[in-house]
Structure 1
């Protein structure tokens, strides 16, 4: 049995004007927002996929189908809590997450502390376990043209011991 496991997540959402922009569990003030079946929080979605992958539990779409009406418009923080419960049930706990958001506009760096605070509360972990970074694509591709947002995440989980939280 492995004491440590890593997982990787990648996600993309189209941006559309006059849609709320949820990112990292907080609402970002911007004229465009991400479109999806849920609240389209691309950061939380990659976190979920990285955690599920590390625990060998498939992916977010397997557990929360975009064909299921119960997940229409759902707050992705709820999905993240459920994913963490699945990881914990499989005998693992979070070590740390490292995520990168790719977005041309708006600039995300000013919002990262609020995202970390929100997500740490949802996940019941220390903020130091969550690394969130942001980058642009230097105006290249769909991100550069401000047509979409993408994100990447890696997660490290470890086998829980009787004294692990």
Structure 2
């Protein structure tokens, strides 16, 4: 359940950021802290100073381009919306972060920023699990790749062995000649 996952330090960003990952009509600031209200409230009342500080730190760390923190999230580009969704997850202070297609529908610049966010989070000790339908992305980001087929792990690749050709062979089941 969602409650058990959160209690165990697991947070997921869904593939459908607009429908499930954020509230487009709410402000960027509210979206960034909605999964971590306790960190910006006292006795159930929002501490505006704490909220502004947390939001400002998130915007800086994530490189979000915006006019004002209170503007509706729906006003941002797809890449900046996705960074807000990831920021919301990071503000929840998870131990394990599951990212489902975090670069879908974003431009190449935003993709590179999201890749860097994932690498930085992992370097800070966060376990980052990344799901993508684009094989090339794994080569950019991952230290280890598990191939799932039919609900079972059918392959694993680590370090320098993470190459497009190897991953393609493992996902299709076809062995190429190298």
Same fold (TM over 0.5): no
Q: Highest relative contact order (Cα 8 Å, sep 6+), 1 or 2? A: 1
- Larger Cα Rg: Structure 1 or Structure 2? 2
Structure holding more strand per residue: 1
- TM-score between both structures, scaled by the size of structure 2: 0.30
